[in-house]
Amino acid sequence: MAAAAAVAAAAIARPAAAAGNPKFPNSDSLKGARFTRAPFFFVLPTARSLRMLAFTRHVAPTVVALAGAALAAGCGTTVVHPPSTVADPVTVVIADYGRHSSLLLPRDDGRLVEYAYGEWRWFAAGEDSLWRAPAVLLGTNPGALGRRDLGDVDPDPEQLHDTLNLERADAVCVERERARAVLEDLDRAFAAGAEKSLFNPKNGLTFVHDPSAYSGDHHCNTVVGEWLTALGCRVEGDPGFIADFRIERNPEPTEATPPGPRQ
């Protein structure tokens, strides 16, 4: 090994006769010399590169596997039971983008507003490179509350599916007063951080920092589940990283069948 190192060093720093070296005009010891590079296979690995290689071979696959396991574990269906009785109904919409979900709420004038929750760097700052996924899935990170005013869009789920490029859109009928209260709470939380808001052109939402941390058990889909619970819905299942909400509506009442003639 020592002999190989000496050969490599000599190859890297071996001077060769030439008519001057313009790079080092003031060095007597280097006048008339030029430096030649060793072929790449003579370069010896450093201790740091060896450590990085060990990490890549042994640690990185483990982290990726754990992230994959966390993602796979969070793929269960979340069943939403709307309120059984509603005196003053209004419709909210669960927007399913595939991995991510958000909630669309109506204002008193009929305009729709979209609210969403996510990890700050990934969702708000747009730092969504694949190499960050393990840290997002397995770590605890700053949260972000996002909002987008949709205006006078048609609230019909089929129209929203095309307008917002959704995987799925589900309409849920809830009490108007509850919807107003949830929207007021979200507007208040958004206004509290509006001075440091950040717009992400990738998803069209404006974000503020949320005081709650993003983690494996507190992410976009669990937060949408919390909002639905506040709207009077019953939410069953543990929302995973993959958005998969299913609405189980109460069966329509049926008329009793009169008894047939006694035999």
In order along its 263 residues, the chain shows pLDDT tens digits of 444 444 444 444 444 444 444 443 444 433 443 433 434 333 445 555 445 444 444 444 444 444 443 433 444 578 899 999 999 999 999 999 987 899 999 999 989 999 999 988 878 888 776 776 776 677 778 899 999 999 988 888 888 988 899 999 999 999 999 999 999 999 999 999 999 999 999 999 999 999 999 888 888 889 999 999 999 999 987 666 576 788 887 654 334 334 344 43
Whether 260 is covered by a domain: the verdict is no
Q: Which of 52, 72, 92 is the last residue of a domain?
A: 72
**What is the predicted pLDDT for the residue at 217?**
83
For β-strands 245-247 and 78-81, DSSP reports them as: parallel
Whether 203 is covered by a domain: the verdict is yes
**What is the predicted pLDDT for the residue at 76?**
56
d(CA 135, CA 224): 22
The DSSP secondary-structure symbol of 38 reads: P
Whether 178 is covered by a domain: the verdict is yes
**What is the predicted pLDDT for the residue at 157?**
87
Whether 64 is covered by a domain: the verdict is yes
d(CA 105, CA 83): 16
Task: Based on the fold, state whether residues 165 and 114 are members of the same structural domain.
Answer: yes
How many domains does the chain contain in total? Answer: 2
Task: Based on the fold, state whether residues 32 and 99 are members of the same structural domain.
Answer: no
Task: Based on the fold, state whether residues 58 and 32 are members of the same structural domain.
Answer: yes
d(CA 148, CA 116): 9
Q: Which of 57, 72, 87 is the last residue of a domain?
A: 72
Whether 88 is covered by a domain: the verdict is yes
Task: Based on the fold, state whether residues 50 and 140 are members of the same structural domain.
Answer: no
Task: Based on the fold, state whether residues 38 and 56 are members of the same structural domain.
Answer: yes
In DSSP notation, 162-207 reads HHTT-SEEEEEEEEHHHHHHHHHHHHHHHHHTGGG-EEETTTTEEE
Task: Based on the fold, state whether residues 132 and 235 are members of the same structural domain.
Answer: yes
Task: Based on the fold, state whether residues 83 and 165 are members of the same structural domain.
Answer: yes
Domain coverage including residue 20 = 2-72
Task: Based on the fold, state whether residues 170 and 186 are members of the same structural domain.
Answer: yes
Task: Based on the fold, state whether residues 51 and 90 are members of the same structural domain.
Answer: no
Whether 252 is covered by a domain: the verdict is no
The beta strand positions in the chain, using DSSP E, are 15-17, 33-35, 78-81, 89-96, 101-106, 112-119, 141-151, 168-175, 198-200, 205-214, 234-236, 245-247
Task: Based on the fold, state whether residues 36 and 130 are members of the same structural domain.
Answer: no
Residue 101 near residue 224 (C-beta atoms within 8 A): yes
Task: Based on the fold, state whether residues 96 and 61 are members of the same structural domain.
Answer: no
Half-sphere CA count of 117, side-chain side, radius 13 A: 25
Task: Based on the fold, state whether residues 25 and 98 are members of the same structural domain.
Answer: no
Whether 219 is covered by a domain: the verdict is yes
**pTM of the entire predicted model:** 0.66
